[in-house]
Structures are given as C-alpha cells and as structure tokens.
Chain A
Amino acid sequence: MAHIELRNVTKTFGDSTALKGLDLTVEDGQFFVLLGETGAGKTTTLRVVAGLEKPTAGTVLIDGVDVGDWGAAERDVALVLQQYSLYPRYTVRENLEFPLKSKIRQVAPAEIKERVDRVARTLRIEHLMDRKTDRLSGGEMQRVSIGRAIVRKPRVFLMDEPLSALDAKLREALRIELKNLQMNLGATFLFVTHDQVEAMSMGDRVGVLDRGRLVQVGTPSEIYARPKNTFVARAVGSPPMNLLDGAVRDGKAMAEAGFALPIASASSQDGRPVTFGVRPEDIRLDPEAPARGRVHDVENHGVEKIVTLAAGDTLVRLTTLASQKLSIDDTVAFSWNPDKIILFDRASGQNLAGA
C-alpha cells in the first residue's frame, strides 16, 4: 500500500486549466474522497495520479518516489471508472483474470484461479462468472470492474465516481461494501465523487475541489462543522447550510431577511456586512422566539421533516421532528443555536473564524 503526494500540480488542456497548483497528500491506508462539481478537476486529478495524463507542471510522488516519467503500468495502481470499461466479448471470469495473465506479472494458473474465486466471493458475483459482460446489469458490471481492480493487489486504488451510474439502493449497498473492502485490505483509496453523501459517509478525509483548486481538506465532520468558505458550506450537507446576508450589531445577528437573533461568537465583527451560515438542524421552531417566517414548503423524510420558511424574500431551511404538525402558509416563530452560527465575509466568502 502506498502514500500519494501531489505537489503543486497544474494541468491545462489547450486554453482551459483543469488543475491549478494542486497540493494533495493521501496517507497510507487512507480513504480519501475528492468532492467537487462537474468540471472541478476531480477526474483529471485521478488520471494524473494513474499516469494516464502528464501534469503540465508539478510532481506526483508515490511512496516518496517521483513517478512523473512512469507509465500507468509501472505505477501499479488500479482504476475503476464511471463507465465500467469491462472487456467486451469476454466472460466475467476472463475479465477478472485479465490483469493477472499479462506477461509482466507471471502468476501461476492455480493462484489465478484462487485469487479470482476469492474476489468473486467478496463481491458476491460467483454466480455470474461464466456470463458475458454485456449480459450483466449495471450494478453487476460495476462489481466486476471493482473486482478486476482488487484482484491484483495494487498499491493504490483510484475510483472515478464508480457508483454514480447506479440506482439509489445499489449505490447504498456498494458504498458499504467498498468501505468494508478498504478497511479489510487496509488499502489506500483515492475516491472521486460529486455526491456529498458518499464523501461524508465513506471518507477518512475529504478534499473539496473547486475549479482546479483544493479549497479545504479535513475529516468529514470538520468540513461539515467548520467550512472554510461559502463554497464548501454549500457543497457539503443535505439539505445545504442556510446562508443569510446580514450584519452583527450588539452581539446580535441582524439578518437582512428581517429578523434579529443572538449569536455567541465574533462580536468584534460589529457592523461589518457578513453572511451567516447555519445548518438546518441548528434552527428550531420556538413559539417564544422573535424571528417569524411563513411556511413555504414541507418535505417529509420519514425520520424528520425538512421545512422551508420564507422570511421576507429569503428562504430558510430547518429540520424538525416528523411528528411536528405544520401546514403551508402558517406563520411560525423560530430561533437558532447561537453557538453554531458561522460568519463568512460577504465579499470573499471566507470563514471569519479562520477555520
């Protein structure tokens, strides 16, 4: 298993820049998730690590060795792509055997069989072994391509949105399987996704990528609790963090939406235009509270209700117990947890607490 480091990696395609001075470290045995929107440079990062793209500038180190001139084969990485890239016309077994049969690595036939069978058992695809790959369902195909990656014990696993083409149930199941697999193998995983739920639930560490720059790296809870800027605040969490423009006056948050609520931190920011960030679960319905809003929308999620309130023109989301009775257009009062309010600079979007 291995340690990956990217130092100041820049990658341009013609006029467009995919990565700008990216620094990234993945520790040995870590499950690192890169989270970002489409076009943020996630896939490019993976391909640079895999050796399928050469960085325009910067170095890639695997286990402390500069692998800039190495091809994909020499780097000994495994890559699982969004499009399954199984070899057509071959059976599942032949696909799984493929990486072991190459001339570079001489593996005895008995060992090939043993390893392939073990992988098939792990991924529960034993009943598919003699089937052609075009007769498989999406989930089965993706399991085979994961199987092809783990069958040969590479140093690093790279996964490019492997679950995004699957339906919700299967995605959930494979998410758990992948995480277990990583823990059992003790392998280094670099996992790319645009799905923040995947990032939060699977990652040991999460890196948030925005237009080729790494904005914040941290454990999922750090990123959730202390986003570095409004971009991260928006990217992580579902429903997303409420971002309300306003100012601090006399230790109170004066929201432009037309309410004032107490806050615990940052009275030093008096008078400055800021954006308040507050998670939906830190807002509660409270008949005593001074802030008022009209119920705009109620989503019932079973365990909880997500309520959207309209305060002036601004929409505020909060979560509440599923048993709470609400109807649209009711006027309700709400307050928030004063300790959990994050202040962002209005102009730059940076977290004023310095995260």
Chain B
Amino acid sequence: MTTLTMTTLDPRSRAARRGLSDLSIRNLFIIPTIIFLIVFNIFPLLYSLGYSFTDFRASSNAPANFVGLDNYRTLLNDPFIWSNFAITAKYVIVSVTGQVIVGFGVALLLNREIPFKGLITTLLLLPMMLSMAVVGLFWKLLYDPSFGIINYAFGLGRFEWLSNPDMALYAVALTDIWMWSPFVMLLSLAGLSAVPKHLYEAAAIDRAGPIYTFFRITLPLVAPILMIAIIFRTMEAFKTFDLAYILTSQPTTEVISIRLYKMAFQEWQTGMSCALAYIVLIMVIAITNIYVKYLNKVKER
C-alpha cells in the first residue's frame, strides 16, 4: 500500500542524478528512526519485562533469580502501593479537570475579536514552554509561607501550602493547572475557530439563546478535540514526577512515579520496580483505550 501512495522521484532531481531511487530515499529516512526506536525504546521495554520476573538488584553483583509472578503478587497486595495509586488518581482528576475548565474558559474568552489577541495568546502560552524543574522551583518560592507572594497577595498570613499534608497535593495540582491550562486552551482555540461562523449566525436567526447555542452547537463541535487534549493531559498527569518531587516530599503527594523512582533508585529493588512500571504501563494503556473508544463515539455522533 505504501508503495502505491508514494510519489515517484523526479528523474531530473539531484537525488536522482546521484543514483538514489525512491526506495533508497525512503530507507534513508526510515531506517535510522527504526534503529533509534529499537535501541532506546523497544529493547529496554522487553529487557525490563524480563527483569520484572526476577529479584535482580542493580546495586549488587548477585545474579538475578527467576521468581515468576512473585513481584506482581507482592505489589498488588501492598496497601501502600494502592494508596500511591489513589493519590495519583486524585491528582489526575483534580489537575485535568482544572486544566479543562481554565483552558477552555480562556479559549472561549479569546475566541472573539479583541485587540492584541495574538500577543495575549502567546503570553498565555509561556508557562507551557518552561521547564518543569524551573516551574517547580519558583512555585516553591511563590508558595513559601513566610515570604511567598501568594500568601501576601491573598492575605493568607502564614498558610502552609506545601508542608500541610492535606493541602500539598492540591498545591502541586494547582501548579500543574497553571502550567498546562494553556495547552488545553490552544487545542480548544483550534477547535473553536473551526466551528463555522454561519452556524452561529443560523442559531442567532433561529433565536437560540447564548447558553442553548453553547451546549447545542459549540460544545458538540469542540468535543472531539477537547477529548484529545484530555487524553494527553491525563497521560501526562498520570506519570507526573518532577513537579511533585521538586515541590514537596509529603507522603500525601507520593504519586506512583515517585514511588517507582524511590523503589528503583533509592531502594534498588530493580526487579520489583520493573514489575511496578509494567503495572503502570498497563493502566495507562487501559485508560487511554477507554478514552479513545469514547472519542470515537463522540466523533460519530
């Protein structure tokens, strides 16, 4: 099939004079990518699958013993792991919901004729372009109970954002919302501007109110692209590590990837952590699949 859709090489082109055929050019582009993928993605993936069935520790010279499904059994029976998953779920729900509400809301505000629209959009996109580590570090300063600007601005006195175990996870989620709402906004804007203007005019002529128009026209048409934004953000939030790790070290913010990091590189339970990584991978794939199924249903409607 690919050969059918491939355009043929112009016989007068420089590539043709050097004796390159269509096929060799195609290989030139594809083979390095495939090699790269195999070396850095596929090989480690399979290798770690092997380790997940052993008691291997990367810190010792002891040979790895095959233990079968023991690692999985231990992990799935460990209440601490489940509490890590619960924390992660809470974090995903709070942060993705927040991002969708803020991002879509801002997109609605921006989707009209306003002065300096381009400039405002670009400025709003800035948080997304920063490095996670940088964002984590300066939000730590912003949250600081004694000199942080957030407490100062909202007159919260010495409110402990990050050292309060009940608040810390929300503080991390808030930072994530600040950082990634622009992403949802960007995709929503693309979706909103793709809604044909004449539909709104037709709705106005049909005497539909603004709320009715929003729920009957805008939302159904933007839903598929909004779903894509949600899929991306859910996947990212599920495997979030750097923000939570930099901002705080509360047990209540120990999301699954921090647990995984500690298990692998502080406790050196390499085999066990490989198993955990696989459990996480399967979960992410499962969640994404549910979303994609739903997305297809939304598209069909």
Residues of A within 8 A of B (CB): 50-52, 71-73, 76-79, 81, 83, 85, 87-89, 98-99, 101-105, 148, 152
- Given A72-B204, A72-B205, A103-B212, 18 new contacts (CB under 8 A): A50-B205, A51-B204, A73-B205, A73-B207, A79-B205, A83-B196, A83-B198, A85-B196, A85-B198, A87-B216, A88-B220, A89-B220, A98-B208, A102-B206, A102-B207, A103-B209, A103-B211, A104-B209
Please tell me if the beta carbons of A71 and B204 are within 8 angstroms of each other in the complex: yes
**With contact pairs A102-B212, A103-B209 given, residues A87 and B199 touching in the complex (Cβ less than 8 Å):** yes
Number of contact residues on B: which range applies? 10 to 19
- C-alpha spacing A72/B206, complex, angstroms: 8
The minimal Cβ–Cβ distance linking A112 to chain B, given in whole angstroms, is: 13
Q: B301 near A: Cβ within 8 Å? A: yes
The answer to whether A85 and B209 have CB atoms under 8 Å apart is: no
A99 to B301, Cβ gap below 8 A? Answer: no
Do B207 and A76 have beta carbons less than 8 Å apart?
A: yes
Which residues in A have their C-beta under 8 angstroms from that of B199?
A: 85, 87-88
Complex contact A78–B209 (CB within 8 A): no
- Shortest C-beta distance, A119 to chain B (Å), equals 14
Q: List 10 A-B contacts (CB under 8 A).
A: A52-B204, A52-B205, A71-B204, A79-B202, A81-B202, A83-B198, A89-B220, A98-B208, A99-B207, A102-B212
From B196, B205, B216, B221, residue with most partner A Cβ within 10 Å = B205
Residue B25 at the A interface, CB < 8 A? no
Interface SS majority for chain A: loop
- Taking CB atoms, residues of chain A closer than 8 Å to B301 are 89
* Beta-carbon contact of A78 and B208 below 8 Å: no
In the complex the two chains form, is B205's CB within 8 Å of A77's CB? Answer: yes
**A105-B209 Cα distance, complex, nearest whole Å:** 10
- B236, CB-defined interface residue at 8 Å: no
- Cβ-closest 9 pairs across A and B: A99-B206, A73-B207, A72-B204, A85-B202, A85-B198, A102-B208, A79-B205, A104-B207, A72-B205
In the complex, A77→B206 CA distance in Å? 8
The reply to whether B205 and A78 form a contact with Cβ atoms under 8 Å apart is yes
**Interface assignment of B201: CB less than 8 Å from any CB of chain A:** yes
Which residues 28-82 of B sit at the A interface, judged by CB distance below 8 A? none
The closest CB in chain A to the CB of B204 belongs to: A72
> Is B290 located at the chain interface by the 8 A CB criterion?
no
Q: What residues make up the interface of B, taking CB atoms closer than 8 Å to A? A: 196, 198-199, 201-209, 211-212, 216-217, 220-221, 301
In the bound complex, CA of A85 to CA of B199 (Å): 6
Q: Which A residues touch B205, using CB under 8 A?
A: 50, 52, 72-73, 77-79
Q: Is the CB of B198 within 8 A of A88?
A: no
Query: CA–CA, A50 to B207, complex, Å?
Result: 12
Which of B198, B199, B207, B221: most chain A Cβ within 10 A?
B207
Residue of B nearest to A82 (CB): B198
How many angstroms between the C-alpha atoms of A83 and B199 in the bound complex? Answer: 10
Which residues on A sit within 8 Å (CB–CB) of B207? 72-73, 76, 99, 102, 104-105, 152
Complex Cα gap A148–B205 (Å) = 11
Q: Which residues of A contact B201 (CB under 8 A)?
A: 52, 72, 79, 81, 85
Q: Are B212 and A73 in contact (CB under 8 A)?
A: no
Q: Which residues of B contact A89 (CB under 8 A)?
A: 220-221, 301
User: Shortest CB–CB separation between residue A150 and chain B, in angstroms?
Assistant: 12
| CA gap between A248 and B4 in the complex, in Å | 71
Docked pose: A76 CA to B206 CA in angstroms: 8
CA of A78 to CA of B207, assembled, Å:
10
* Smallest CB gap from B195: residue in A: A88
* Alpha-carbon distance between A89 and B218 when the two chains are bound, in angstroms: 12
A12 vs B282: C-alpha distance when bound (angstroms): 61
Residue of A nearest to B208 (CB): A102
Q: Give Cα A57 to B301, complex, Å.
A: 44
Contact pick for A81, options B198, B204, B216, CB 8 Å: B198
Cβ of B149 to closest chain A Cβ, rounded Å: 44
Minimum distance in angstroms from A272 CB to a CB of chain B: 50
Question: What is the minimal beta-carbon distance from B90 to any residue of chain A, in angstroms?
Answer: 34
- Specify which chain A residues have a CB less than 8 angstroms from the CB of B198 in the assembled complex: 81, 83, 85
Contacts of A103 on B, CB cut-off 8 Å?
A: 209, 211-212
Chain A residues near B196 (CB-CB < 8 A): 83, 85
Please indicate the chain A residues that have their CB under 8 angstroms from the CB of B204 in the complex.
51-52, 71-73
